[in-house]
Chains A and B, each alone.
Chain A
Amino acid sequence: MSGQDITDEKFDSLSLETDRRGFLKIAVGAIALGAASYTGLKAFLKPSPIPGVLEGASFKRGHTLLSGGFKVPGKRHHKKIVIVGGGMAGLHAGWWLKRNGFNDFVILELEDEVGGKSRFKKHHSGESPLGAHYLPLPNQEAHHTIELLKEMGVLLSESEKGSVFDEDYLSFAPRERLFIHGRWQDGIVPNNGLSDNEIKEMENFFKRMENFKWAKGNDGRYAFSIPMDLSSRDKQFLKLDQVTMKEWMVSEGFSNEYLNWYVNYCTLDDFGTTFDQTSAWAGIHYFAGRRGKNKNSEEEMVLTWPEGNGRIIKHLRDKLIGHIETGKIVKKVRADKNEVLLLVDDQKTSTEEKWSAEKVIYSAPRFIAKHVIGEEVVPEQLDYSPWMVSNIIIRKPDFNPNFYWDNVNYHGRSIGYINANHMNLKSHEDKYILTMYWPLVSGSPLEERRKALTKTHAEWSKMVIEEMETMHPGISEFVESLDIWLWGHAMVRPVPGYIWGGDRERKVQSKDSRILFAHSDMSGMSICEEAGYWGVKAAEEILRQS
């Protein structure tokens, strides 16, 4: 870059000393100008904050259990049966009672809406889940789920070869994809970029899982069932509960990076727990517990709806009109010699009501039971994983992102997102509603729960957008709104020993036969069929006794 006559003399005098101040002025000026115009331009171009709300399970209401709540006495009520908690288990219990002609019961729900972790959200452009969002095809032994699906018109007919489900609810194609090594592949099991050995190891792993799927114990039961209570008690399988999934995989020689990622993704999906903390029995259960089949489809299918398992909630809720009371915080449950007494805060009147019942089905989560009933009903190892669920409304981008139903990011921070309107029959949507699932597992559950409560909507949004951008560069421009929903106690954690260590099984029943328990916490896995199983089982017990 020179056209000048440069002489040696002039080179000799090359020195900054001549006008150091002048130079500094220019340098500082240029940097300051640059910085100013950079920040100015950025501020000018920076999109205004993303609208949306930060919500969650009512932390405050939950905590009245500790603080004591209202003191003004309210009304007294009596019902033959009081069901505490209107989540999946409580609603199943009520549904089963009603279905069998038993009407003298009420469901008391703490929140303003029933549904528990299967609640959903209404947007202008449709509905989407806030939590549980699909149901694998039920096993034959899951009678209650089969009955429910028949009643909902989802299961059309049953046969040995496979049942026939209404195709409106079988997850539509294209179903699942994984963003790995910079591109999307079909299916979530990694196959892009694997060596032959790695592929072989994957195949071996799935072969092992397939064997477990059909394995039976010495009591003639399947080793892994849903409901899990019907699983074989054969020691050779139960001992898998003593080690973590990761330990089991290491001991079996499964070590490749891709498989580790995939199994970890799966345990996060079902338990919100990483595979180095999940019991191997639970981990294998994920792969081996589901034997349901649809006659007209070859692959493993799941049932799903735009609002997720909210569809099941809607059905049960509609069947239970007149039996549900919301905004009722059950603070204490005590059995005396004649009846069971409940202290209940009513949110509408701000009074403390007294309820009495012959029997109570306690179907609130177990960590609450500790405060309401007493320490003795809660397994020692009980712990929960916190989750964040984000609903993102996307203006239809000009580029077509070709959303699948389930879209997962390899080594992402979330476990991916689903396209909630994938299950609409319409061929055109003006907007997409994407639901992103994010287990909070970087620290211990308690730490993560605390951290989650301090984060702002803007901070959560930033995390969600960053995760979306890695999969779809440029998509943030099209985000219309972004809601955050926090679950402090989303899923019970099946750590080694929780499921078959003995304590959980002992605490499935209360000492007083007038208080029955029903919750998926009792299974050690937060899935709809487990909640339903315990709900229906409690209802059957009531029906038998009356």
Chain B
Amino acid sequence: MEFILLFSVAVIATCGLVYELVAGALASYLLGDSITQFSLIIGIYLFSMGIGSWFSKYIKKNVMMKFIQIEFIVGLIGGLSATVLFFSFEFISHFRLLLFTFVSMTGILVGLEIPLLMRILKDRYEFSDLVSKVFTVDYIGALFASILFPLVLAPYLGLVRTSLLFGIFNVAVGLLTLSLIKENYPWKRALKGTGIGVALVLVITFALSNKLTQFAETLNYKDQIVFADKSPYQKIVLTQGDKDLRLFLNGNLQFSSVDEYRYHEALVHPAMALGDNPKNVLVLGGGDGLAVREILRFPSVEKVTLVDLDPLMTKIFSTNETLMKLNEKALVHSKVKVVNADAFVWLRETKELFDVVIIDFPDPSNYSLGKLYTTRFFTLLGKVMKDETKAVIQSTSPLYARKSYWCVGNTLKYVGFQINPFHVYVPSFGEWGYFLFSKKQFDLDFRPLDNAKFLTKSVWDSMFVFPPDMEYTETEINRLNNQILVRYFEDEWSRYN
């Protein structure tokens, strides 16, 4: 019994220090400035331990039971500390308060442990012997934790799972101590049940920790998530609010069902209506099928080829009912062919010529996407366009990212296209810009669709007016070997985030 209790001292000492280290590492990770974080946490933790020790004198009766209860509570609070802190970081404004509350609570409880244990053991040893044994083991446990934490725990388990694991150890110590009691106290059973319950909570959380991390990310969305999945290319999330359905790719809003028609009519209608009864249409990107929906409103269309990198994206938009209602089953239409391929590679290999090309790629927010806006890509694009083919490209916001917008235009012009800039207001996005372009100069006069929700003739005429805050600006040409657009884009959007 003595040996087991002393072993418990080693375990709880290890646990105690691990909680402290987890809190320090987590605070440095989330808040930065590791010197301050560690210093504050160590200080508050030690001070709380002092409070705990002081309080221990008020525990008069049933010391054994109280000790076991404390083990369970420490296990629960310490074990869940990293999980709770991680998940709440995004949502609460007083994160430090929560952090220090956790640290003090754990500290107080850990501070109670040793004095109580010493009192339990006091009849079994000489006092001098007792003090020396308990403290020796206590410090060995601390050393053990401080070595284990940076070498094994933090790198292999991570902070969340480390604290859960040690929470389980704390509870295990409690249960072990409980099993040592031979007398038949009435509270034994209830306590055993509690301990097992707490252990279960910790074990389950541990098992689900990966899922929980994923879930934590979904909490970043305002509305309820109705779909979330991850393909090798991106994270796809759909949310349903009171008024609208929203699609997020890697956390970036792609559309809101309330106003997406503005974006998609402006993207598709002019290029289609300006073509001479286009038959063969190419869509690059746009796996949501909303651009295709608009294309199919034009009766001359015989074939639409949609090239989107991500099979998951085109799959959900051709199987999910809500989404198919939104895109009017565009992706399963008999005229539509869906190709899941890298646009760059696909363009190099295709021999087909198209009457209209609609480009709806994500914004050039990284170097992989930036490639799709380079001279090289546009030159390749020219090879699938006839002289009279009309093409359109979404080109981010001319207001928030003016240089980025005009850089797309200047690059198109550089490779020999005639360009026509236009923009539209989409409430959920803000001001949004496009370029309509072709190999030859062309007339911009067209007859809008009768059933258009937004794009009428007079609206169309207004879309060419660029106020001074978004008017033309000179930029460098975006090439594979400079990727200047990505730099403009990062620079400009960082001011809005």
A31 x B140 contact (CB < 8 A): yes
Which of B261-269, B331-339, B363-371 sits within the interface? B363-371
Q: Is the CB of A38 within 8 A of B53?
A: no
Q: Is the CB–CB distance between A174 and B483 below 8 Å?
A: yes
Q: Does A15 contact B (CB under 8 A)?
A: yes
Find the residue from A13, A173, A396, A400 having the highest chain B CB count within 10 A: A173
Is B367 touching A3 in the complex (CB atoms < 8 A)?
A: no
Q: Known contacts A3-B53, A3-B57: does B132 contact A430 (CB below 8 Å)?
A: no
Within B1-41, the residues touching A (CB, 8 Å) are 3, 6-7, 10
Task: State whether the Cβ of B131 lies closer than 8 Å to any Cβ in chain A.
Answer: yes
Bound Cα distance from A45 to B291, whole angstroms = 49
Does A4 reach chain B (CB closer than 8 Å)?
yes
Interface residues as binary, B123-159 with A (CB distance below 8 Å gives 1, 0 otherwise): 0001111011100110011001001100110011100
- Residue ID in chain B nearest A1 by CB atoms: B53
Task: Give the contact stretch, choosing among A19-27, A281-289, A381-389.
Answer: A19-27
Q: Which residues of B contact A400 (CB under 8 A)?
A: 366
Whether B481 lies near A26 (C-beta < 8 A) is no
Number of interface residues of B (CB under 8 A): 58
With A and B bound together, what is the CA distance between A23 and B129 in angstroms? 9
Query: Which residues, 357 to 406 on B, are CB-close (under 8 Å) to A?
Result: 366-369, 371-372, 375-376
User: How far is B486's CA from A301's CA once the two chains are assembled, in angstroms?
Assistant: 19
> CB distance B136 to A23 under 8 Å?
yes
Interface flag for A100 (CB, 8 Å): no
B contact residues around A13 at 8 Å (CB): 126-128
- Select the stretch in A145-153, A205-213, A420-428, A492-500 that faces chain B: A420-428
CA distance A199 to B480 in the complex (A): 30
**Contact between B53 and A14 (Cβ–Cβ < 8 Å)?**
no
How would residues 88 to 112 of chain B score, 1 for a CB under 8 Å from any chain A CB and 0 otherwise? 0000000000000000000000010
Q: Would A30 and B479 count as touching, CB distance under 8 A?
A: no
- Cβ of A297 within 8 Å of any chain B Cβ, yes or no, is yes
Among A38, A42, A296, A425, contact of B348 (Cβ-Cβ < 8 Å): A425
A2 and B342 in contact (CB under 8 A), knowing A10-B127, A27-B140, A41-B152?
A: no
In the bound complex, how far is the Cα of B251 from the Cα of A275, in angstroms?
A: 49
Instruction: Identify the closest chain A residue to B234 (Cβ).
Output: A428
Tell me which of A22, A167, A427, A474 has the highest count of chain B C-beta atoms within 10 A of its own C-beta: A427
Q: With contacts A18-B126, A172-B480, A425-B348 known, is A26 near B233, CB below 8 A?
A: no
| Closest A residue by C-beta to B46 | A1
Complex: A19 Cα to B7 Cα, angstroms? 17
In the complex, A175 Cα to B367 Cα: how many Å?
11
Contact yes or no, B128 A425, CB < 8 A? no
Interface-centre pick from A3, A13, A301, A400 (highest chain B CB count, 10 A): A3
Q: Is the interface of B mostly helix, strand, loop or mixed?
A: helix
Contact status B368-A428, CB under 8 Å: yes
Contact A430 B232 (CB under 8 A): yes
Interface centre among B128, B133, B372, B376 (most CB of A within 10 A): B128
Question: A490 at the A/B interface (Cβ < 8 Å)?
Answer: no
CA distance A428 to B57 in the complex (A): 64
Q: Does A16 contact B (CB under 8 A)?
A: yes
**What would 27 A/B residue contacts be, using CB atoms closer than 8 Å?**
A1-B53, A4-B118, A4-B119, A16-B132, A23-B129, A23-B133, A26-B133, A26-B136, A30-B7, A31-B140, A34-B144, A38-B147, A38-B148, A42-B152, A167-B479, A172-B480, A172-B481, A172-B483, A173-B480, A173-B481, A173-B484, A174-B367, A297-B479, A402-B367, A425-B344, A427-B343, A427-B368
Chain B interface (Cβ < 8 Å from any Cβ of A): 3, 6-7, 10, 49-50, 53-54, 56-57, 111, 114-115, 118-119, 122, 126-129, 131-133, 136-137, 140-141, 144, 147-148, 151-152, 155-157, 232-233, 309, 342-345, 348, 366-369, 371-372, 375-376, 479-484, 486
Which A residues have a C-beta under 8 Å from some C-beta of B? 1-4, 6, 10-11, 13-16, 18-19, 22-23, 26-27, 29-31, 33-34, 38, 41-42, 45, 167-168, 170-175, 296-297, 301, 396, 400, 402, 425-428, 430, 474
Extra contacts, 18 of them, besides A4-B118, A173-B484, A427-B344 (Cβ < 8 A), are A2-B115, A10-B128, A13-B128, A14-B132, A22-B133, A23-B132, A30-B144, A34-B144, A45-B152, A45-B157, A167-B376, A167-B480, A173-B483, A396-B232, A402-B366, A425-B345, A427-B372, A428-B342
